[in-house]
């Protein structure tokens, strides 16, 4: 029986590195933001490569959801699905995946917003949707009767192996040493947007070192971070820690 893992991550997190990690397992398949095409088609957001992404992907909410609930690629025992809460603007929500194991990848809003600035991309609250991530977390907690896995990326990078082992225990899957490293370059499982967004992870073969101090933001960026912070802090209380 396939264990389907829905990792709900905010953007500009370590979400692609985490996908690489699960892709390194001997028993796993991974899916990269399967609702991205539907989101771009319905929102009309002028994001990089939007037309190419829409043309490349299934943009029907219902059929993508059906696929994510269906047979795993190559009959993999573990199917890791990388999802973004801010993509979920159609009729499909976390409630359509009651049999998935849900996990949540979080990061300080200051780091996320600063990362967008490096890419020279303007960002607003609807691009981040910390509120929806918290809403999904609360639904998963109520639905399952237990606190779902929460991974804080900054803490994670201080001890990737320890946090990955804790995550595997929480998800009730075996530990696999292959989660600690991967081949450099673009991977076949990457979305076609990898050429624009995945430059750092494509150059990597493992998780990076822990980041430095939280960046200082000013003006609109600082105000946006303040708006997002309460949602982040509410989830940070439940973040996994190594044994």
**Strand ranges (E), the chain:** 3-9, 28-32, 78-83, 101-106, 149-152
pLDDT tens for residues 22-57?
999 999 999 999 999 999 999 998 888 999 999 999
- Rounded Cα distance, 87 and 128, in Å: 9
| Token representation of residue 108 | 């300080």
Predicted local confidence at residue 210, as pLDDT = 93
Domains of the chain: 3-181+208-236 (3.40.50.300)
pLDDT tens for residues 202-240?
999 999 999 999 999 999 999 999 999 999 999 999 999
């Amino acid at each position: 029986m396939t264990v389907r893992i829905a990792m709900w991550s905010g953007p500009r997190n370590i979400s692609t590195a985490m996908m690489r990690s699960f892709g390194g397992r001997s028993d796993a398949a991974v899916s990269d933001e399967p609702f991205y095409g539907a989101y771009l088609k319905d929102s009309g957001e002028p994001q990089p490569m939007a037309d190419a992404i829409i043309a490349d992907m299934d943009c029907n909410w219902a059929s993508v959801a059906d696929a994510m609930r269906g047979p795993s690629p190559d009959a993999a025992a573990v199917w890791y699905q990388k999802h973004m809460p801010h993509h979920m603007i159609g009729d499909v929500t976390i409630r359509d995946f009651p049999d998935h194991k849900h996990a949540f990848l979080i990061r300080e809003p200051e780091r996320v917003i600063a990362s967008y600035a490096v890419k020279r991309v303007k960002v607003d609250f609807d691009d981040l949707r910390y509120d929806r991530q918290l809403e999904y977390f609360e639904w998963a907690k109520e639905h399952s009767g237990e606190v779902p896995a929460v991974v804080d990326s900054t803490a994670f990078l201080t001890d990737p192996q320890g946090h990955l082992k804790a995550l595997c225990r929480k998800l009730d899957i075996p530990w696999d040493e292959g989660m600690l490293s991967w081949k450099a370059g673009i991977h076949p499982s990457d979305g076609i947007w990898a050429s624009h967004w995945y430059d750092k992870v494509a150059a990597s073969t493992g998780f990076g070192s822990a980041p430095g101090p939280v960046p200082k933001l000013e003006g609109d960026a600082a105000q946006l971070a303040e708006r997002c912070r309460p949602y982040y802090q509410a989830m940070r209380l439940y973040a996994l820690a190594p044994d």
